[in-house]
Structure 1
Amino acid sequence: MSDLTSKEVIILGGGISGLAVGWFLHQKGIPFKLFEKQDETGGAVTSKRVHGSVMDFGPNSLRDRSGKIRELADDLGISQDLIQISEALKTRYIVRDRSLKELKPSLFSLISTKVLSPKAKLRLLGEPLAQTKSPSDESIGDFLERRIGKEAVDYLVDPVFSGIYAGNIYRISKKSVLPKLAEYEQNFGSVLWGAIRSKKEKEKVKPMVLSFKKGIQQLTDAISQKISDHIIYDEVKIVEKAEPGYRVQTENEEFTSKNVISCIPAYSLGHLLRGFEPELSSELINIDYAPMLSTQVLFKASDINPKREGFGFLVPRKERIRLLGAIWKSNIFPELTADDYFHANLMTGGAHDRGILIESVEDVEKEILNEFRELMGIDVQPAFVKSHLWKKAIPQFDVGYEQTKQRFKQFESENPGLYLGGNYRWGVSVPDCIQGAEELVREMADHL
Structure 2
Amino acid sequence: MSNLNKKEIIILGGGISGLATAWYLHKAGISFKLIEKEEETGGVISSQKAKETVFDFGPNSLRDHDGFIRELAEEAGLKDDIIQISEAFKTRFIVRNRELQRLTPSVKTLATTEVLSVKAKVRMLAEPFIPKGETEDESVGAFLERRIGKEAVEYLVDPVFSGIYAGDIFKMSKYEILPKLAETENKFGSLVMGMFRSKREKSEIKPMILTFKKGIQQLTNAVTEKLSAHILNEEVINLKKIRSGFEVKTDAGTHQASTVITCLPAYTLCSIMSEFNPELSQTLGKIDYAPMLSTQVIFNKKDIEFPESGFGFLVPRKENIRLLGAIWKSSIFPELTSEGKLHYTLMAGGAHDRSILSSPVEKIEEAIVQEFSELMGISANPTVIKSKLWTKAIPQFQVGYGRIRNEITKSEQENQGLYVGGNYRWGVSVPDCVKGAKELVNDVLL
Alignment of 1:264-343 (within 5 A): 264-343=264-343
- Do the aligned residues in 1 keep the contact of 2:132 with 2:190 (CA within 8 Å)? no
The answer to whether residue 348 in structure 2 is matched with residue 384 in structure 1 is no
Moved more, 252-261 or 192-201: 192-201
Partner of 1:203: 203
- Cα deviation, 1:239-298, whole Å, max 9, x if unaligned, reads 001121011011011011110011110010000011111121122122100000000000
- Do the aligned residues in 1 keep the contact of 2:284 with 2:404 (CA within 8 Å)? no
Unpaired runs of at least 5, structure 2: none
Instruction: State the alpha-carbon separation in 2 of the partners of residues 242 and 297 from structure 1.
Output: 51
Partner of 1:252: 252
Moved more, 79-88 or 198-207: 198-207
Instruction: State the alpha-carbon separation in 1 of the partners of residues 207 and 6 from structure 2.
Output: 40
- Do the aligned residues in 2 keep the contact of 1:5 with 1:244 (CA within 8 Å)? no
Instruction: State the alpha-carbon separation in 1 of the partners of residues 196 and 300 from structure 2.
Output: 43
- Do the aligned residues in 2 keep the contact of 1:132 with 1:146 (CA within 8 Å)? no
Instruction: State the alpha-carbon separation in 1 of the partners of residues 90 and 237 from structure 2.
Output: 47
Moved more, 5-14 or 338-347: 5-14
Instruction: State the alpha-carbon separation in 1 of the partners of residues 403 and 275 from structure 2.
Output: 23
Offset, 1:199 = 7.4
- Do the aligned residues in 1 keep the contact of 2:168 with 2:351 (CA within 8 Å)? yes
SS at match of 2:385: strand
Partner of 1:159: 159
> In the alignment, residue 239 of structure 1 is paired with which amino acid?
L
Alignment of 1:129-140 (within 5 A): 129-140=129-140
Instruction: State the alpha-carbon separation in 2 of the partners of residues 200 and 433 from structure 1.
Output: 24
What fraction of aligned residue pairs are identical, expressed as a percent? 59
Instruction: State the alpha-carbon separation in 1 of the partners of residues 197 and 309 from structure 2.
Output: 31
- Do the aligned residues in 1 keep the contact of 2:213 with 2:336 (CA within 8 Å)? yes
Offset, 1:67 = 1.0
Partner of 1:351: 351
Partner of 1:66: 66
> In the alignment, residue 107 of structure 2 is paired with which amino acid?
L
- Do the aligned residues in 2 keep the contact of 1:236 with 1:250 (CA within 8 Å)? yes
Instruction: State the alpha-carbon separation in 1 of the partners of residues 9 and 200 from structure 2.
Output: 43
Instruction: State the alpha-carbon separation in 2 of the partners of residues 424 and 218 from structure 1.
Output: 23
- Cα deviation, 1:316-358, whole Å, max 9, x if unaligned, reads 0000000000000000011111121110000000000000000
Partner of 2:27: 27
Offset, 1:234 = 0.7
Offset, 1:307 = 2.4
The answer to whether residue 98 in structure 2 is matched with residue 95 in structure 1 is no
- Do the aligned residues in 1 keep the contact of 2:304 with 2:380 (CA within 8 Å)? no
- Runs of 4+ deviating beyond 4 Å: 196-200
Offset, 1:7 = 2.4
The answer to whether residue 117 in structure 2 is matched with residue 117 in structure 1 is yes
Offset, 1:6 = 3.1
TM-score (norm 2): 0.98
> In the alignment, residue 105 of structure 2 is paired with which amino acid?
P
> In the alignment, residue 77 of structure 1 is paired with which amino acid?
G
Moved more, 204-213 or 317-326: 204-213
Offset, 1:136 = 2.0
- Do the aligned residues in 2 keep the contact of 1:136 with 1:175 (CA within 8 Å)? no
> In the alignment, residue 190 of structure 1 is paired with which amino acid?
S
SS at match of 1:66: coil
- Do the aligned residues in 2 keep the contact of 1:81 with 1:212 (CA within 8 Å)? yes
Moved more, 133-142 or 327-336: 133-142
Q: Provide closer, same or farther for how the CA distance between residues 280 and 201 of structure 1 changes in structure 2, counting only shifts above 3 A.
A: closer
Partner of 2:108: 108
What is the number of equivalent residue pairs in this alignment?
446
The answer to whether residue 419 in structure 2 is matched with residue 419 in structure 1 is yes
TM-score (norm 1): 0.98
Offset, 1:126 = 2.0
The answer to whether residue 13 in structure 2 is matched with residue 13 in structure 1 is yes
- Do the aligned residues in 2 keep the contact of 1:328 with 1:343 (CA within 8 Å)? yes
Offset, 1:44 = 0.6
SS at match of 2:255: strand
- Do the aligned residues in 1 keep the contact of 2:306 with 2:376 (CA within 8 Å)? no
Offset, 1:5 = 4.3
SS at match of 2:381: coil
